[in-house]
Amino acid sequence: MTLANTAVKAGILGYPRIGANRELKFISEAYFRNELSQEEFSQKAAAVRKDNLAFLKNADLNIIPALDFSLYDSILDLILALGFIPERFRKLNLEGLELYFAMARGYQKDGRNAVALSLKKWFGTNYHYLVPEFDDGVTPEVNAGFLTEALKEASEGGIAVRPVLPGPFTFAKLTRITGTRDAAELEESVTAVYRELLLTLNREAGITEFTALEPSLSMDLSAADIAMFRRMHERLLRDLPLKVYLGTSYGDIRDVMKDIPDMGYAGLWLDLSGNNRNRDLLREFSFKPGFELGLGVVSGQNIWKNNYDESLEIVREIQKDHPETCIVITASASLLHVPVSLQNEKTLSPEKLKHMAFAAEKTAELRELRDILNGSAAPEISERNRDLFRAPRFAADAELQSRVAGLKESDFARKPARKERLALQDQVFKFPPLPATTIGSFPQTAEVRALRKKFRLGEITRESYDAEIRKLIAACIREQENTGLDVLVHGEFERNDMVEFFGRKLEGYIFTDNGWVQSYGTRCVKPPVIWGSIRRTAPLTTDISSYAASLSEKPVKGMLTGPITILNWSFPAADIPAASSVMELALAIRDEVLDLEKAGIRIIQIDEAALREKLPLRREDQEAYLTLAVNAFRLTASGVKPETQIHTHMCYSEFGEILKSIDAMDADVISFEASRSNLTLLRELRDAGFETRVGPGVYDIHSPRIPSVAEFKSTIKRILEILPREQVWINPDCGLKTRGNAEVWPCLNNMMAAVREIRAELEEKNA
């Protein structure tokens, strides 16, 4: 019997929007600075979009997405297209692009004012979306002009596309209800207007196919969620004059797989990278003849070549189980999360580059896999790929491996217990009540950035660069002393980035020239790449820390980035377990901690800014991640003397369910971001019996506002109503590097004035 499979296809859910050289970022920024008119900006942006489409057409993919391109964010596109305009923006009476960017970036002009929609992490990736709001001003209505235009543009280019947008379920799940209407009304509104949107696109742009991207299906879903998903999609699909494909990513869809086959979709695209349950789920269910199965065997999130033999084995098994489906080879997610193309990499050797694949190269992989399956690929294609995986990619560091293997339980335990340690530290440091500090960085002014650039370009020598950095440090320490802060920092002027700085100094890291990935809107990041075993070969920060410490009688903190944060903000190796890289990083940081202590540094801060970010989406996977993160942190710090104080910092306030783990990191002091949820968090800390001393940020460094002394006082008093005075530190909520000196020093002066007044009040009470 011959299998009834039709020819295998290849396609993707999305392509990076930033352009091969981050064109979109630069033209957007020029537009924001009023250097481009709206018209010029729109034209230039359309050129990036057309280039993408032309590339994909040339890449010989069978299914090319459209509407995946966005000027800022796809959820924001949908907010505009569905008319989810909150009252504060509606009142501005703006239209089109102006309204769009007002929601993205906030608005402040002619006395009119609106705070931007908030940004949130997108499903465990480093991408952020804009959070839709459902307030009483929202009156959903279809506004599809900009989408139909983009679709027409594609058809003028002669390119057949399948439009894709985040689906209604995900949109509703991500929406924050802020008005008086409830979740049922939200669901009703989204469903109705979303269906209307598809009908409009069908009528006005002639679309006959559509992919609804529903990444929320990869989260733990309750029975109510599942019912909601079914309700929304059944209504969406009923008698719709177009074929709808369900796109999923970022994990498996265990909670709804059973529902999918009879819901009326034309196809389902699945993440089949890694070890999620989708493979098993596919064994359990069957689909109608002709149903399209998108098999995401190529990772949409890593930057490494795919192992064809492994992928083909997965695909062939699925083909066997589902002989009557149409198979599409795809990536596990939109290629949005990987850099555009290796063509722009001039520095890395061919030996390294041959193992890597960015978005452009991944489309080639999809095509090759398809051709192999269809029997039309040249034999060398498989051979060349097999060669890549035959020999070890790098020489593992045996000594390091045995050091990791030899770690004992005692290496993860600091002695004595925290209570005892803190009592000893109190005697040594003799801080006043409510000790005050900052998170580490001070403004990276134009001057600081120009200095680093000159050094990078070889225009100044290492000596004069170091001398200039030292001047900056000395001035910063003097200013901090003037404000009356109790624990000082050196200011991090020598660091462009808290991860790359360490990566550059560690063995095992490599760096791309142009490996940019969109983080949000115009912001892109260029994560360093973990190539092999990570090892510290020399001290990383002791020279600068000792210098800074020599300038003051007050303690100056040594500043390090923690292992989980370094890992989470790097591109990990695909063939090295994350746990190995993390432990190697932890050992490197541990050695640095001990060297700092030896150099006389008495307080060391190990930032775990990104710990919460990569908390797995599924509850059942969270425990293992947290255990690893906690152990890695404990390893970095467990070797120090009892009187050396260990601080850490985290960049978010949604601790909630992971408070126990954070306490288990066994730091002495932790600072974290404050936000509107400050009060909730403080209560959670109290109720959890949190033992680490805490500095809940007393002001938002993301805003240029300067809070008054009175405002600082009331913030601090609110904290003291909930947490015992002995437990509390005072600090801003994050590093100050993105702010200007004109705001930072008045802020810190006001903060310290408030601290002094409250200390005096406390003393009076005691007297």
Active site residues: 702
Residue 503 three-state SS: helix
DSSP state of 493: T
Cβ at position 514, least distance to ligand GLN in Å: 23
Cα(637)–Cα(606) distance, integer angstroms:
9
Nearer CB in complex with ligand GLN: 318/604: 604
Contact present, 490 and 556 (Cβ < 8 Å): yes
Which of the listed partners (ligand GLN, Zn ion, none) does 559 bind, with a CB threshold of 5 to 8 Å by partner kind? ligand GLN
Residue 165 three-state SS: strand
Q: Which residues 626-655 are close enough to bind Zn ion by CB under 5 A?
A: 651
Nearer CB in complex with ligand GLN: 334/441: 441
Cβ at position 62, least distance to Zn ion in Å: 44
Cβ at position 492, least distance to ligand GLN in Å: 6
Contact present, 204 and 146 (Cβ < 8 Å): no
Cα(610)–Cα(300) distance, integer angstroms:
21
Cα(284)–Cα(514) distance, integer angstroms:
43
Which residues face 10 on adjacent strands? 329
Query: Which residue of 219, 498, 635, 681 would you call a contact of ligand GLN, by CB under 6 A?
Result: 498
The contact mask relative to ligand GLN for 592-631 (x = CB under 6 A, - = no) is: ---------------x-x----------------------
DSSP state of 704: -
Contacts of 90 (CB under 8 A, 6+ apart): 137
The dihedral sign for the CA sequence 21, 22, 23, 26: negative
Query: Which residue of 663, 735, 744, 755 would you call a contact of ligand GLN, by CB under 6 A?
Result: 735
Cα(51)–Cα(336) distance, integer angstroms:
15
Nearer CB in complex with ligand GLN: 347/738: 738
- Of 142-150, 434-442, 545-553, 619-627, the window that binds ligand GLN (rule: CB under 6 A) is 434-442
Residue 389 three-state SS: helix
Q: Which residues 262-321 are close enough to bind ligand GLN by CB under 6 A?
A: none
Query: Which residue of 315, 544, 559, 611 would you call a contact of ligand GLN, by CB under 6 A?
Result: 559
Which of the listed partners (ligand GLN, Zn ion, none) does 440 bind, with a CB threshold of 5 to 8 Å by partner kind? ligand GLN
- Binding residues for ligand GLN, total number by CB under 6 A: 13
Closest CA to 199 of 164, 151, 237, 171: 237
DSSP state of 126: S
Which of the listed partners (Zn ion, ligand GLN, none) does 88 bind, with a CB threshold of 5 to 8 Å by partner kind? none
Nearer CB in complex with ligand GLN: 217/651: 651
Q: Which residues 506-545 are close enough to bind ligand GLN by CB under 6 A?
A: none
Q: Which residues 598-617 are close enough to bind Zn ion by CB under 5 A?
A: 609
Closest CA to 692 of 672, 664, 719, 715: 664
Q: Which residues 701-740 are close enough to bind Zn ion by CB under 5 A?
A: 734
Cα(482)–Cα(498) distance, integer angstroms:
27
Cα(549)–Cα(488) distance, integer angstroms:
9
DSSP secondary structure letters along 161-212 = EEEEEE-HHHHHHHPEE-SS--HHHHHHHHHHHHHHHHHHHHHHH---EEEE
Cβ at position 738, least distance to Zn ion in Å: 11
Closest CA to 605 of 665, 685, 688: 665
- The number of beta carbons lying within 10 Å of the beta carbon of residue 373 is 21
73 binds ligand GLN (CB under 6 A): no
b (16+ CB within 10 A) / e for 452-478: beebeeeebeeeebbebbbebbbebbe
**Residue that is written with structure tokens 């269910």 in the block:** 285
Residue 460 three-state SS: coil
Nearer CB in complex with ligand GLN: 362/649: 649
Residue 570 three-state SS: coil
Query: Which residue of 439, 549, 573, 670 would you call a contact of ligand GLN, by CB under 6 A?
Result: 439
Contact present, 156 and 206 (Cβ < 8 Å): no
Cα(415)–Cα(630) distance, integer angstroms:
16
662 binds ligand GLN (CB under 6 A): no
Nearer CB in complex with Zn ion: 142/651: 651
Query: Which residue of 14, 124, 215, 440 would you call a contact of ligand GLN, by CB under 6 A?
Result: 440
Which of the listed partners (ligand GLN, Zn ion, none) does 14 bind, with a CB threshold of 5 to 8 Å by partner kind? none
Cβ at position 535, least distance to ligand GLN in Å: 23
Which of the listed partners (ligand GLN, Zn ion, none) does 441 bind, with a CB threshold of 5 to 8 Å by partner kind? ligand GLN
- Of 74-82, 261-269, 407-415, 439-447, the window that binds ligand GLN (rule: CB under 6 A) is 439-447
Nearer CB in complex with Zn ion: 25/693: 693
Which of the listed partners (ligand GLN, Zn ion, none) does 498 bind, with a CB threshold of 5 to 8 Å by partner kind? ligand GLN
Nearer CB in complex with ligand GLN: 434/559: 559
Contacts to Zn ion by CB under 5 A: 609, 651, 734
Binding site for ligand GLN (CB under 6 A): 439-441, 492, 498, 559, 607, 609, 649, 651, 734-735, 737
